[in-house]
Copies of this chain bind each other. A is one copy, B any other.
Amino acid sequence: MPGGSQLRVTIWNENVHERTDKSVMRIYPEGMHGAIAAGLRRELGATASIRFATLEEPEHGLTEEVLSETDVLTWWGHKAHDQVTDEVVGRVHARVLEGMGIVALHSAHYSKIFRRLMGTTCALRWRSAEGGERELVWTVNPAHPIAEGVPQPIVIPHHEMYGEFFDIPVPDDLVFISSFEGGEVFRSGCCYYRGAGRAVYFSPGDQEFPVYHQPEIQRVIANCVRWCASGAMANDAPSSRTGGVRRDWFLEGS
């Protein structure tokens, strides 16, 4: 983001479960986007401005204009990945490569935009037991910005199990690894550089559990948003002392 000014966050939510499943409505009466926003407001305060976008809006709320005014986009989707149009996916993809950050949450591992950015299936092992099971989120890179101020481990009392093998590219920074009661492990906090942009995948946050109300989880998401907020585009001009630097090249494919 331009130095000093506010970090502009757009919270995207599929927002289907919250309108159709009573159990989800009870947990997230303001929608998961509402809980995520509450966490960001507490953690980032006036340094960030927040807007929402949802599936049902025209262009899913992600017009060229909205994206051009977004420094970091968070993404939650599950039931309706296929209803996101390829046009919007392509637009978001291009914006990430130009420098917009993206934070993919939980079941967004299987969203079109995340799979496009990763180039793999993003399939995983999962189990949705009644009442969930305990997840422990361990920090394996305490020097990384997204782990700042995070307890060791974060305890999520009840959650859906996500396990390995998780078919993603090797993370550029692997920060969190979770375990589940069944003994499974999962790379739950993964950072990537893509083009001039940055992407994070953070797995906690199933719609059936109040994970996004948990302060430690909110803290991690705020850390991710901060980490993703890239600088400007790469400056593709040479420094002023250009003596002898050739400029007779082309960009793009050859």
Contacts and interface: CB of A to CB of B under 8 A. Distances in A.
A231 B118 contact: no
Consensus secondary structure, chain A interface: loop
What range describes how many residues of A lie at the interface? 35 or more
Interface string A158-169: 001111111101
13 contacts: A78-B254, A107-B254, A116-B119, A123-B252, A140-B166, A151-B240, A155-B239, A156-B241, A165-B234, A169-B169, A174-B174, A179-B183, A181-B183
Interface string A229-242: 01111111111111
A25 to B, nearest CB: 20
B151 A196 contact: no
Nearest to A233: B142
A159 to B, nearest CB: 12
A-B residue pairs, 7 tightest by C-beta: A142-B234, A148-B231, A110-B253, A119-B119, A182-B246, A151-B239, A126-B254
